[in-house]
Amino acid sequence: MGSEVRAVSAEQVALRDRLIDAGHLIPSGVDGVYGHSAAFEDLREALGTRISAEARTRGATRLTFPPVLPVRQLEATGYLANMPHLAGTVFSFDGDDAAAAVQGTRASAHEDWSEFQAPTGVALMPAACYPVYPALARRGPLPAAGAFIDAGGAWVFRHEPSTDPARRQIFHQHELVRAGTPETVLQWRAQWAQLGLDLLTGLGLEARLDRANDPFFGRRGRLLAANQRAQELKLELLVPIAGPEPTACASFNHHLDHFSSTFAITGAGDDPVHTACLGFGHERIVLALLARHGLDPDRWPAEVQDRLGAPR
């Protein structure tokens, strides 16, 4: 069974075209891959600064990682079994002079040259929280209070090409991760679900919180998705952007002991270690703001500009 094909509405395509005409999106020729205007990036960076400031005041430690991770780490997470349709791995040339010449000729003619490529051992980052867990494990047992990590607005890749401007193949996911006792982690997720809701509604967006599930693959994936919803392991903040349904602009995930057992994250005592993460989609939130308040941020309500720290 393949992955679900998501229908794209005329309203979503129309919004994409308006954003391109306004210069906010720069098309690459590949669906779901865009450049951005300076105004778009200013908004995205201001949003990231605001999220990091909220996390820092609540005790977060900042860590940064590159947009690739070792394939062995990706394999350990279960992502390649559960969502193989979204994964991207990095290949590079592996051949001699003759192979390089053939590859170059084929590439110039836009013909297939993939036979000369071999795996490099790294994959494109599918979720910005993934490198956090082995990094926590390397520190040894967690302190009694656990750990709270701000991984920032990192680039992530998911092979999901679309003409919907809110569905990207490459985008920024602002990831926060909490590790600790089950009670601590659940309390943290509930707190941040409310903080996220307050943040988006404070920016004038019509956000609401709902249960959700990851886009698991195939027949087994449908069972995983049903179980995830039943246990309320994933919550999403849904915001209207364009189209008949609202778009998920942030997610709040409780992993139970999946990552702590996978990467051997231990606690200060005998209590089990759970983890949770939340991810704010930078581009989706900026798109929601542009759709809501107009394509000229200088004419947005003063309160919205002030909350983003935008100069006026």
Give the model's pLDDT for residue 220.
Answer: 75
The answer for 262, left when phi > 0, alpha when psi is -120 to 50, beta otherwise, is: alpha
Examine the pLDDT at 163 and tell me if it is beyond 60: yes
Kindly report, residue by residue over 199-245, the tens digit of the pLDDT.
Answer: 999 999 999 999 987 777 777 768 777 777 777 789 999 999 998 89
Dist. CA 299–CA 296, nearest whole Å: 6
What size, in residues, is the chain? 312
Q: Give the chain's domains with CATH numbers.
A: 10-88+126-308 (3.30.930.10), 89-123 (no CATH)
Q: Does 173 or 1 have the greater pLDDT score?
A: 173
Q: Does 255 or 3 have the greater pLDDT score?
A: 255
Q: How far is CA 229 from CA 18, 31, 153, 166, 213, in A?
A: 36, 30, 26, 23, 6
Dist. CA 21–CA 19, nearest whole Å: 5
Examine the pLDDT at 310 and tell me if it is beyond 80: no
* Side-chain-facing half-sphere of 93: CA atoms under 13 Å: 12
Query: How many CB atoms neighbour CB 58 within 10 A?
Result: 14
Dist. CA 123–CA 72, nearest whole Å: 9
Query: How many CB atoms neighbour CB 182 within 10 A?
Result: 15
One DSSP character per residue, 144-192 reads: TT-EEEEEEEEEEE-----SSTTS-SEEEEEEEEEEE-HHHHHHHHHHH
- Rg of the chain in Å (alpha carbons): 21
Dist. CA 83–CA 23, nearest whole Å: 34
Contact 294, 286 (CB under 8 A): no
In percent, the amount of the chain with pLDDT more than 90 equals 87
> Angle of helix 38-57 relative to helix 182-202, nearest 10 degrees?
140
Q: Give 309's pLDDT tier (boundaries 50, 70, 90).
A: confident
